[in-house]
Amino acid sequence: MSKKLFVVAFAATVLTSLSARADYTFTGPGLFTDTTKWSKGLLPTNSVSDNIRMKGHCGATNVAERLEGGKWCHIGYGGTASWLDVKDCDFYFATLRISNGGNNGVYTHDGGSVWFSEGGNIGHEANYMEARMELTDAAVTNASGKTMSVGHSAPKDGGAASLKMTNCGFVNNGTVHVQRNATAEFRNCDISTGLFRVSNGSLAIVDSRFTSSNTGAFYAGHSNSSGLGAIALTNTTAYVGEKIYVGGTTGGSGLFDLYGSVYTNRYQVYIGNGNGTTGTFHIVGSTVNFQSDVHAGYGESSYGELIYEGPDNVLEKAGTVKVATGSNSTGRVVFDGVDWSKCKITSYNSFASGVDSKGFIEYRNIATTNAYFLALTSNTANSNGLAQTTLDNAHYSNTSSGSLMFFGRQNANSRVVLTNGSTFEATSGEDVWMPDYDGSRASFFVTNSPAFIINVGTKKANYYRLRHGKSNAELHFTFHDSTASIATNAYDYYMAQGTDSKASVTVSGDSFVEFGKITCSAAGESVFNLDGGALAVTSVSSGSPIFNFNGGALRSRSAQSSWTPSGAVNNVCEGGAVFDAQHNVTIPGLLLHGGAAAKDGGVVKKGSATLTLSSSTQEFTGDIVVLDGILDMTAVAGYTLAAGQKIGGAGDGTLKVGSGFTAGGVRFDAAWEGGLTVDGDVAFAPGSTLDVTGIDKDTEGSRFTILTADSLSGAENISATGAPGKWKLRASATSLSIVKDTGFILLVR
């Protein structure tokens, strides 16, 4: 085989050192044919101590003997850029140094083999623009314990170091370290063993195979760096026999992407491993087998997230998923658009076990209904922590027998969030505790959900429906534009039973939320916030629950002689108290004035049945409107409404009043199709007002009856300013009407 060395000049200087090292400088371009200078691949002096420097364009082609690179081989030296181009040769380096003293250096090698016995530095000294090594169709070996450093020193602005292997076999017995915005790419390679560290830069393994024993591992975001360490495996089969670190040591930031790959990890995966680190493990269209634990947010004040994206992911096995184990850490696990039938998850997982940590799991865009696992805390000391499950266009179902999962575990805060059409169904044959530990908290925030269900099956001895009985524990339900059913079968929701416990139900928007029997306790605080929609309950009993009526309806589910307890605090706020009595029900407690405005939203009665307000006094300051059925207020004798506090309603509504009832005006809306009927006598106080809507000067018709009663008095006290143009108020002994006329006519008969 012929030998070709492209060299202009060759100079050798023997240094007087203890090692008798020789310095050799190759300067190109040109053709050098004196084989004695590099005979049989050896330099004329002891090659293990020789210092070889490349200047200009140098090369070797089809050299039969193995070329020895000496102790240190420098490519890019002496103020001159250098390119070493080797083809079909076997090259042995002790230490390769590309780009010295700010000089650019490039080493390409096509065919043959390359051996690094002491590793090498690509970008050896600072201030280079280009430091590059490209190996193609070669057998490459990095010796045991040695490091190939890509981006060893900082380049000039806009410069970079790079390593690229294509169609190579790479035995990495040591470490490949990528840093300072450098890049490394392996394409269609067979890679065995070794450690890959990316501190600040990127490593891409494409269409390749990676196999390692217990010495092979990946570190993405290895060290304290302002940049990102990114590793991506694409269409690659990888078996990793050691731990994986994404966001490795203090302050590191790491990203690990899997695209269309088959990946097995024998030992633990740490995402956000070191203190203050951040890490993301992103899986798309890949088959993954985690044979040990996966940690997201492991270090103190770390952030780690594990993301499964797309329907083509196959999770063959996953050890325990531990999310936010470090103190003050945050961890997230996301399943986005996956086919849940392809995911095998262990039944036990840990969330927010670190003190003051926060652990999240998110299910997004999952069409089928399956049993997922929820984010539940498992640390009694984590009083300020949070474990949150989010369903975003996803569907949770757990209808298996046995105890339902416990929300609000171990003295921490557990939260479930539903949005974007998600559904939630949890049923069980046994008792349900939420929360299940003293001082713990559980919350449900449900938005735009067509079905949120928590019900259990058959009652067992000493078991009840849904129990909130721990001391200092909290349980909160919040619904907006959603439909929900909770403890609606035969037994109770035991609400805020523990000492100093707190519980709430908040309903807003276009929601319909249904409970069965709710039993409160004087030991805890139970609050119902009705800000919109409707809350349907069979009954609320015991204790002193707080009702904040602010536009949402309280709807009956069955006839009740005491729909709410007499000790209830019923605050009528600006939005008003809406009662939808589909059955005959009684509210024994008085209705209080609530909110900041002097006049609250008053009372609106809906439903065909009778609602009885049995308290002998009432303190709300807003209007009384009866749209359907009967509102019975006869318990209040001599009831005088405040100035401007009006009564009104539809033709299907009846207000029953006691003796001495005095109103502060009258309301009417043409959409009500008739006026209010008062069962009893009505007097109007001086300063009473008229409020008419839905009628203007062009409205067809000549007369609307707005109120009838057994008898009317004081109609002359009603100000006519509320009548629309061309319409005037007329009164009789038993009715009030508005008629289209040209002047005010008051008739008393």
Task: Inform me whether the pLDDT recorded for 89 exceeds 90.
Answer: no
Q: For position 38, what pLDDT does the model report?
A: 44
Complete DSSP assignment for 211-244? E--TT-EEEES-SS-SS-EEEEEES-EEEE-S-E
Question: 122: closest CA among 171, 82, 182?
Answer: 182
Q: For position 340, what pLDDT does the model report?
A: 86
Dihedral angle at the C-alpha atoms of 559, 561, 564, 567, nearest 10 degrees?
A: 180
The two tokens of residue 351 are 């969330």
First to last CA, the chain: 131
CB 399 within 8 A of CB 427: yes
CB 406 within 8 A of CB 435: yes
pLDDT band at 45 (very low <50, low <70, confident <90, very high): very low
Task: Inform me whether the pLDDT recorded for 6 exceeds 50.
Answer: no
In angstroms, the CA 569 to CA 574 distance is 16
Count of alpha carbons within 13 angstroms of residue 431, beta-carbon side: 13
Q: For position 447, what pLDDT does the model report?
A: 98
Phi, psi of 717 (to 5 degrees): -80, -5
Q: Where are the beta strands (DSSP E) in 557-670?
A: 569-580, 585-587, 591-593, 603-606, 610-613, 624-626, 629-633, 647-649, 653-657, 662-669
Lowest-pLDDT choice from 412-421, 523-532, 543-552: 412-421
CB 350 within 8 A of CB 319: no
In angstroms, the CA 603 to CA 577 distance is 5
Task: Inform me whether the pLDDT recorded for 513 exceeds 90.
Answer: yes
Q: For position 230, what pLDDT does the model report?
A: 96
Complete DSSP assignment for 468-491? ---TT-EEEEEEES-EEEES-SSS
Phi-psi region of 177 (alpha: psi -120 to 50; beta: other; left: phi over 0): beta
Structural domain spans, the chain? 1-192, 223-380, 623-749
Task: Inform me whether the pLDDT recorded for 429 exceeds 50.
Answer: yes
Pairing label, strands 358-364, 330-336: parallel
Task: Inform me whether the pLDDT recorded for 303 exceeds 90.
Answer: yes
- In tens, the pLDDT along 335-383 reads 999 998 888 876 667 888 888 899 999 999 998 766 667 776 555 556 6
pLDDT band at 216 (very low <50, low <70, confident <90, very high): confident
The two tokens of residue 270 are 């740490």
Cα→Cα distances 376→288, 360, 679, Å: 24, 9, 56
The two tokens of residue 563 are 């729909």
Question: 625: closest CA among 676, 691, 664?
Answer: 676
The two tokens of residue 318 are 């996953």
Q: For position 411, what pLDDT does the model report?
A: 62
CB 417 within 8 A of CB 449: no
Neighbours of 234 (CB within 10 A): 18
Helices assigned H by DSSP within 584-666: none
Q: For position 31, what pLDDT does the model report?
A: 30
Task: Inform me whether the pLDDT recorded for 742 exceeds 60.
Answer: no
In angstroms, the CA 99 to CA 63 distance is 25
Lowest-pLDDT choice from 279-288, 362-371, 418-427: 362-371
Cα→Cα distances 234→624, 706, 727, Å: 69, 76, 79
Task: Inform me whether the pLDDT recorded for 678 exceeds 70.
Answer: yes
Task: Inform me whether the pLDDT recorded for 747 exceeds 80.
Answer: no
Q: Computed over its alpha carbons, how large is the radius of gyration of the chain?
A: 40
CB 305 within 8 A of CB 279: yes
pLDDT band at 547 (very low <50, low <70, confident <90, very high): very high
pLDDT band at 14 (very low <50, low <70, confident <90, very high): very low
Task: Inform me whether the pLDDT recorded for 743 exceeds 70.
Answer: no
Pairing label, strands 703-713, 735-740: antiparallel
- In tens, the pLDDT along 35-44 reads 333 444 444 4
Residue 214 vs residue 574, higher pLDDT = 574
SS3 12: strand
- In tens, the pLDDT along 687-722 reads 999 999 988 877 777 889 999 999 999 999 998 787
Q: For position 483, what pLDDT does the model report?
A: 98
What helix, strand, coil percent values describe the chain, rounded to 5? 0, 50, 45
In angstroms, the CA 505 to CA 466 distance is 14
CB 247 within 8 A of CB 220: yes
Lowest-pLDDT choice from 125-139, 172-186, 432-446: 432-446
Lowest-pLDDT choice from 83-92, 240-249, 461-470: 461-470
Q: For position 61, what pLDDT does the model report?
A: 80
The two tokens of residue 663 are 């109103």
CB contact burial 349-387 (16+ within 10 A = b; e otherwise): bbbbbbbbbbbbbbbbebeeeebbbbbbbbbeebeebbb
- Distance between alpha carbon 719 and the CA centroid of its chain, in Å? 57
Q: What percent of the chain has pLDDT over 90?
A: 59
Count of alpha carbons within 13 angstroms of residue 307, beta-carbon side: 18
Q: For position 499, what pLDDT does the model report?
A: 95
Q: For position 25, what pLDDT does the model report?
A: 63
Cα→Cα distances 568→267, 514, 546, 560, Å: 57, 19, 6, 15
Q: For position 748, what pLDDT does the model report?
A: 44
CB 132 within 8 A of CB 161: yes
Lowest-pLDDT choice from 363-377, 482-496, 716-730: 363-377
Residue linked to tokens 């009564």? 647
SS3 197: strand
User: Region 148-175: what's the mean pLDDT?
Assistant: 96
Helices assigned H by DSSP within 612-725: none
Q: Residues 184, 188, 190, 192: is their CA dihedral positive or negative?
A: positive
Task: Inform me whether the pLDDT recorded for 272 exceeds 90.
Answer: yes
CB 199 within 8 A of CB 177: yes
In angstroms, the CA 4 to CA 208 distance is 33
Q: For position 458, what pLDDT does the model report?
A: 46
Task: Inform me whether the pLDDT recorded for 400 exceeds 70.
Answer: no
In angstroms, the CA 429 to CA 400 distance is 8
Question: 423: closest CA among 444, 392, 401?
Answer: 392
Q: For position 598, what pLDDT does the model report?
A: 92
Whether a cis peptide bond, with omega within 30° of 0, leads into 311 is no
Q: What percent of the chain has pLDDT over 70?
A: 85
Pairing label, strands 67-68, 22-27: unpaired
Mean model confidence pLDDT for the chain: 86
pTM of the model: 0.86
Q: For position 81, what pLDDT does the model report?
A: 87
pLDDT band at 283 (very low <50, low <70, confident <90, very high): very high
In angstroms, the CA 254 to CA 278 distance is 6
671 DSSP 8-state letter: G
Task: Inform me whether the pLDDT recorded for 23 exceeds 60.
Answer: no
Task: Inform me whether the pLDDT recorded for 555 exceeds 70.
Answer: yes
User: Region 511-539: what's the mean pLDDT?
Assistant: 96
Residue 242 vs residue 722, higher pLDDT = 242
pLDDT band at 741 (very low <50, low <70, confident <90, very high): low
User: Region 12-28: what's the mean pLDDT?
Assistant: 42
Q: For position 72, what pLDDT does the model report?
A: 85
pLDDT band at 110 (very low <50, low <70, confident <90, very high): very high
